[in-house]
Amino acid sequence: MPLDSPAHPWPAETIWAQVFPLLPDFTVEVLPEIDSSNSELMRRARAGQHEATLLVAERQTAGRGRQGRVWQSQAGDSLTFSISLALSPQDWSGLSLAVGLSLAESLHANVRLKWPNDLWLEDRKLGGILVEAASMGGRSQVVVGVGLNIRPRPSEGLSTAPAALSELLPGCSAADALARVAYPLIETLLGFEAGGFAPLHPRFDARDVLKGRRVHTSDGQQGLALGVSRGGALRLQTDLGVQEIHSAEISVRPFI
């Protein structure tokens, strides 16, 4: 059943009514197809459009993840959306962790977090986050992109089949998932502007899927993950001591 059918209406008006008291210039848009919701909001930010916006794409033809990866998105199979806000936090460190935590807490107790930007279910990727920023005329506009697997996705070319939200919440549509996560995520973003990641650290730690596991990084380091710091860095016990990793791709290694 298409997600834009009467059985699965997008909760645009409900979300707008929730957010309006916090952000009076807030708008919600749902587009049937676009290259990338993040790309579109970044284009708008660079053109001087700074309105707080939630942009939902039913289908993305050129969705993007970290490191230039492609996020395939078909209507009904996944939820893909981006939020654009003018934010000026004292420290941007840990923003993607705050986003992931908000999503996980809104979705299900079994959703875990893989530093720095993935949602995991039973050691399989459930969703991803892409955070970008544009600065124009002294203003900083952050664009937070989210992709969640709603239904099982093809696993060709992948070492592990992706997870799907339907495993946890049977019958949950993309529209239902958006209704769960949108308002809490915007609250989290505004809270992050005021207080950063540190107040969220204990809750992230409780869902940290890497802590206590051997990992290796895309820049060649390896060791035992000790969790994340209050600043959002991954703490890694290596042969040279404890290192703080601020940006890298992480792969999990089995215990040896």
* Active site residues per annotation: 66, 125, 253
SS (H, E, C) 134-190: EEECCEEEEEEEEEEECCCCCCCCCCCCCCCHHHCCCCCCHHHHHHHHHHHHHHHHH
